């Protein structure tokens, strides 16, 4: 096997799955691992139980220790392709981490529930992908259930996401009437068979030539006519798949299927291998990359932290010393690699790979690392928090300690802290509600401070930038709502989306931003 970073990068696909809770992300992940041969059916069922248990264990730890600890990366191979699937926590543990993980992905699969279409969390995550122009592959899941009309689903993608949907398959019916799908490029039909209880689900079904005789055995004459008409309309009315447009973030190839019934998953995985982008190899030959996530206490017995480092260039080897752009050195003795069910020591890694670097606080979210220490990647963005709470410490003499604790935790990137220009309160922002429980417990345990979070009048924050005189005018007018973040950047705390819009309109020359690029 080659160890040339360019060749190795070309066969890697580093991607994430974005979806609204319940659309089927967990099921699809499992079926992708199965399709990729990373787990086996018997193992999968067991793994599922284990995964559940692990997840809830981690949840408990998350509650006790305050960290997002779901399996963050899964690496598996299929054919000549190496897939790195990044987990974007989406349920109770939805947090800024979820957004930031997307900065380490080269593409994303957007899973839609065929009966529901685009839902709020899909939209939020999509917007983060759009910020970076990450190409999106769409998987319309749960076709074995009563679904919306496929044209309505594609219209929704077009109208709400401003993406051109290019269906690669066309479904025949849905729910009880679901019979399979037509490959629009080869004109072959993939039959869906509803498995009997206990039977292996859709292990491998034969493709049927659409023009041939056996196609009429696969479905009723009515459904066949419907499929022909639908496919015809889709071919005429919708753009054909254009890889360049997909890579540019303007078009999304659309797959249909049922993750639960393992139908359409192999096609999706093959599509990712064929069309999704390989990592762009950085301009330098040396090993470089960035830390996009810190997971504390993966092993609760030790006070450890693991930095998730995405390699961007070079060939990483175990034992290397990497330096941050600020000059800190870290010797990577025990880099972790994350397989479907195991963690292993990584002996080497290539662009697109993610390795876990155990450390005791030397690494921060957003750090660039390289052999020379001279590579600096654009910092990871901060996203405007969606929940803002006032934080108070019960012992008023501990105010300074509180500030230090909150700022240290903000460094980990799961919460943000704002100091209003007036008063002694600290305002803490997060993307998910769970983060506040987690913070309270961590502050108690790690800093011995008893804090309370109380609701604040604020709904969201915007970073502001502009000419000095315009900013001064803004501060003059809205001083009680102005604050600074940990890096002393100026922030406007808004009471509602409407108010933010209003103040924005009244403040000529000031840019309001929901994302802080660094």
Q: Which residues bind ligand G4P (CB under 6 A)?
A: 19, 21-27, 141-142, 144-145, 258-261
**Residue 143, CA atoms < 13 Å, CB-side half-sphere:** 31
- Rounded to a whole number of angstroms, the minimum distance from the CB of residue 23 to ligand G4P is 5
Apex 381 CA angle, 89 and 65, nearest 5: 40
The values of phi and psi at residue 47, to 5°, are: -60, -30
Contacts of 114 (CB under 8 A, 6+ apart): 140, 141, 142, 143, 145, 147, 148, 153, 174, 256
**Distance between CA atoms of residues 135 and 133, nearest Å:** 6
With respect to ligand G4P, which residue has the nearer C-beta, 267 or 353? 267
Do the bridges between strand 81-86 and strand 208-209 make them parallel or antiparallel, or are there none, so unpaired? unpaired
Calpha distance 34→420 (Å, rounded):
51
Q: H/E/C letters for each residue in 474-496?
A: HHHHHHHHEEECCCCCEEEEECC
Q: What does the DSSP assignment read for 421-441?
A: SSSS-EEEEESSTHHHHHHHH
- Cα–Cα nearest to 460, from 491, 499, 496: 496
Nearer to ligand G4P, 260 or 376 (CB): 260
Considering the complex, state which of residue 97 and residue 412 has its C-beta at the smaller distance from ligand G4P. Answer: 97
| Beta carbon of residue 103, minimum distance to ligand G4P (angstroms, whole number) | 21
Q: Is the CB of 24 or the CB of 358 nearer to ligand G4P? A: 24
Q: Which is nearer to ligand G4P, 39 or 490 (CB)?
A: 39
Q: 22 or 275: whose CB is closer to ligand G4P? A: 22
Q: In the complex with ligand G4P, which residue's Cβ is closer, 147 or 154? A: 147
Largest CA distance in the chain: 84
Q: How many helices (H) and strands (E) would you count in the chain?
A: 14, 31
Distance CA 265, CA 252 (A): 17
User: Angle formed by the axes of helices 434-447 and 41-65, to 10°?
Assistant: 60
The one-character DSSP state at 339 is B
- Minimum CB distance to ligand G4P, residue 140 (Å): 10
Q: How many C-beta atoms surround the C-beta of residue 156 within 10 A? A: 16
Three-state DSSP class for 219? Answer: coil
Residue 350 CB, shortest distance to ligand G4P, in Å, is 29
Question: Minimum CB separation from ligand G4P for residue 48, in Å?
Answer: 8
Query: Taking the complex as a whole, how short is the minimal distance between the CB of residue 184 and ligand G4P, in angstroms?
Result: 21
Question: Quick one: 49 or 248, whose CB is closer to ligand G4P?
Answer: 49
Phi-psi region of 338 (alpha: psi -120 to 50; beta: other; left: phi over 0): beta
- The three-point CA angle 436-429-493 to 5° equals 145
Question: Residue 63 or residue 145: which is nearer to ligand G4P going by CB?
Answer: 145
Name the residue nearer to ligand G4P (CB basis): 124 or 390: 124
State how far Cα 403 lies from the chain centre: 30
């Amino acid at each position: 096997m080659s160890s040339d970073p360019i060749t190795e990068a070309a066969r890697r696909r580093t991607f994430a799955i974005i979806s609204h809770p319940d659309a089927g992300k967990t099921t699809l992940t499992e079926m992708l691992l199965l399709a990729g041969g990373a787990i086996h059916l018997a193992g999968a069922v067991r793994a599922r139980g284990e995964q559940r248990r692990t997840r809830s264990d981690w949840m408990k730890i998350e509650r006790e220790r305050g960290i997002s600890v779901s399996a963050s990366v899964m690496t598996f191979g299929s054919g000549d392709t190496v897939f790195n699937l990044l987990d974007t926590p989406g349920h109770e543990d939805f947090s800024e981490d979820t957004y930031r993980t997307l900065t380490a992905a080269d593409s994303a699969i957007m899973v839609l529930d065929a009966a529901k279409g685009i839902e709020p969390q899909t939209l939020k995550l999509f917007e983060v992908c759009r910020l970076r122009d990450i190409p999106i592959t769409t998987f319309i899941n749960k076709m074995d259930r009563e679904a919306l009309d496929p044209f309505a689903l594609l219209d929704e993608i077009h109208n709400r996401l401003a993406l051109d949907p290019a269906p690669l398959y066309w479904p025949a019916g849905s729910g009880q009437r679901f019979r399979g799908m037509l490959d629009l490029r080869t004109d072959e039909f993939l039959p869906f068979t509803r498995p009997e209880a206990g039977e292996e689900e859709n292990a491998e079904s034969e493709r049927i030539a659409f023009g041939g005789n056996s196609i009429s055995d696969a479905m009723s004459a009515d459904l066949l006519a419907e499929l022909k008409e639908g496919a015809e309309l889709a071919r005429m009315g919708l753009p054909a798949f254009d890889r360049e447009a997909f890579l540019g973030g303007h078009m999304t190839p659309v797959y249909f299927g049922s993750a639960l019934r393992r139908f359409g998953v192999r096609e999706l995985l093959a599509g990712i291998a064929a069309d999704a982008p390989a990592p762009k190899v950085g301009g330098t030959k040396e090993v470089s990359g960035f830390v996009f996530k810190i997971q504390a206490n993966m092993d609760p017995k030790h006070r450890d932290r693991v930095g998730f480092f995405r390699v961007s260039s070079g060939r990483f080897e175990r034992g290397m010393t990497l330096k941050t752009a600020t000059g800190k050195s870290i010797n990577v003795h025990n880099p972790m690699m994350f397989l479907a069910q195991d963690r292993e020591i990584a002996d080497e890694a290539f662009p697109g790979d993610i390795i876990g670097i155990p450390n005791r606080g030397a690494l921060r979210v957003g750090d660039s690392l390289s052999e020379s220490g001279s590579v600096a990647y654009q910092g990871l963005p901060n996203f405007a928090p969606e929940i803002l709470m006032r934080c108070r410490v019960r012992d008023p003499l501990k105010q300074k300690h509180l500030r230090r604790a909150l700022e240290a935790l903000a460094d980990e990137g799961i919460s943000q802290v704002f100091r209003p220009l007036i008063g002694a309160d600290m305002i803490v922002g997060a993307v998910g509600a769970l983060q506040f429980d987690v913070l309270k417990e961590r502050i108690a345990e790690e800093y011995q401070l008893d804090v309370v979070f109380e609701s604040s009048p604020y709904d969201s924050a915007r970073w502001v930038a502009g000419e000095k005189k315009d900013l001064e005018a803004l501060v003059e007018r809205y001083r009680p709502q102005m604050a600074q973040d940990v890096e002393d950047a100026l922030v406007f705390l808004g009471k509602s989306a409407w108010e933010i819009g209003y103040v924005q309109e009244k403040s000529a020359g000031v840019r309001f931003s929901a994302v802080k690029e660094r």
